[in-house]
Amino acid sequence: MSNAALFQTLLRLGDNTLVLGHRVSEWCGKAPVLEEDIALANTALDLIGQTQMWLGYAAEIENEGRSADDLAMLRDVWDFRNILMVERPNLDFGHTMMRQFLFDAYHRTLLTALKDSTNPRIAEIAAKAVKEATYHFERSAETVIALGDGTPESHEFMQNGLNLLWPFTGEMFECDAIDAEMAAAGVIPDPISLRDTWIALVSDTLTEATLAIPQDDFAHKGGRTGRQHTEHLGHLLTQMQWLQRAYPGANW
């Protein structure tokens, strides 16, 4: 098992939680109701907390003197390894919750499998994070059902969100040479093996939410490999990294 492949795998895990955590934090102070505002901020903080563990371990594996903060704040777009879905702008509340739901279902499934990783550090982090992911999933699934099966207006928002996001879900189950190497060593599950569990979780909830699952299998890809991020990630980084870029090394 090569350290380079492990490093990439840890970036994929940590960049998903970092970028989605930052996106969700953008709701802070302006969510539709106070209770949702607090819940979204909690979710964002959970994800950033998980990022510290993933990127902290990634920095150790890389062994070039960089810290988790360096990886988060001083890399540019092409070095990020998150899936494209999490860098999408929040748009409306329905789109945000649909993205959260689709990701949470995947995240919970992935972390559950990672608890059995042959790499003890990964297994430990996953065991801690899966508790948070389970709560996130319960919460976002309930919201998707409430709004999908709510008023005609809320239903339309959720269906639009689902239609927009569906083509971004295929990337979660993509398997390249790095995944194959890690899966063969038992470090991560084969991404494709997660799909059945995910689709079962997602269809149950979406059916209850009276939402129609798009039948198109086309998938936008390029985030996990860094080959082609959307234009949104650059804008996100200018916000997220501004302080460290303007005042290098600034600290509490």
Partner 1 sequence: MTDQATTPPKRTGEWPLFEVFIRGQHGLSHRHVGSLHAPDAEMAIKNARDVYTRRNEGVSIWVVEAEAIHASAPGDKEALYDPSNDKVYRHPTFFDVPDEVGHM
Q: Are 48 and 72 in contact (CB under 8 A)?
A: no
124 touching partner 1, by CB under 8 A: no
Q: Is 250 in the site for partner 1 (CB under 8 A)?
A: no
Please identify, among the stretches 51-59, 65-73, 103-111, 131-139, the one whose residues bind partner 1 according to the rule CB under 8 A: 131-139
- With respect to partner 1, which residue has the nearer C-beta, 148 or 226? 148
Q: What is the Cα–Cα distance from 48 to 25, expressed in whole angstroms? A: 10
The reply to whether 127 sits near partner 1 by the rule CB under 8 A is no
The two three-digit tokens of residue 96, written as one number: 């945000």
Binding partner 1 (rule: CB under 8 A), the pick from 139, 166, 169, 230 is: 139
Among 146, 184, 200, 250, binds partner 1 (CB under 8 A): 146
CB-nearer residue toward partner 1: 37 or 70 = 37
Asked if 66 touches partner 1 (CB under 8 A), the answer is: no
115 binds partner 1 (CB under 8 A): no
Contact predicate 128/112, CB 8 Å:
no
Residues near partner 1 (CB under 8 A), total: 11
Task: Give the count of alpha carbons within 13 A of 103, CB side only.
Answer: 28
Q: What is the dihedral of CA 81, 6, 24, 147, to 10 degrees?
A: 90
**Minimum CB separation from partner 1 for residue 138, in Å?**
7
| Contact characters 14-53, partner 1, x per CB under 8 A | -------------------xxx--xx--x-----------
Q: Mark out the alpha helices in the chain (DSSP H runs).
A: 3-25, 34-62, 68-73, 84-87, 93-114, 120-148, 152-165, 177-184, 195-208, 231-240, 242-246
Whether residue 227 contacts residue 84, with contact meaning beta carbons closer than 8 Å, is answered with no
Rounded Cα distance between 104 and 202, Å, is 10
Q: Please tell me whether residue 149 binds partner 1 under the rule CB under 8 A.
A: no
Q: Out of 142, 149, 190, 208, which residue is the one contacting partner 1 (CB under 8 A)?
A: 142
Beta carbon nearer to partner 1, 71 or 144:
144
CB of residue 38 to partner 1, shortest distance in Å? 5
What are the counts of helices (DSSP H) followed by strands (DSSP E) for the chain? Answer: 11, 0
Closer residue to partner 1 (CB): 35 or 231: 35
Question: What is the torsion angle, in degrees rounded to the nearest 10, for the CA atoms of residue 70, residue 72, residue 77 and residue 82?
Answer: 140
Q: Between 28 and 192, whose beta carbon lies closer to partner 1?
A: 28
Structure tokens at 6: 């492990």
Question: Does 135 sit near partner 1 (CB under 8 A)?
Answer: yes
Contacting residues toward partner 1, per CB under 8 A: 33-35, 38-39, 42, 135, 138-139, 142, 146
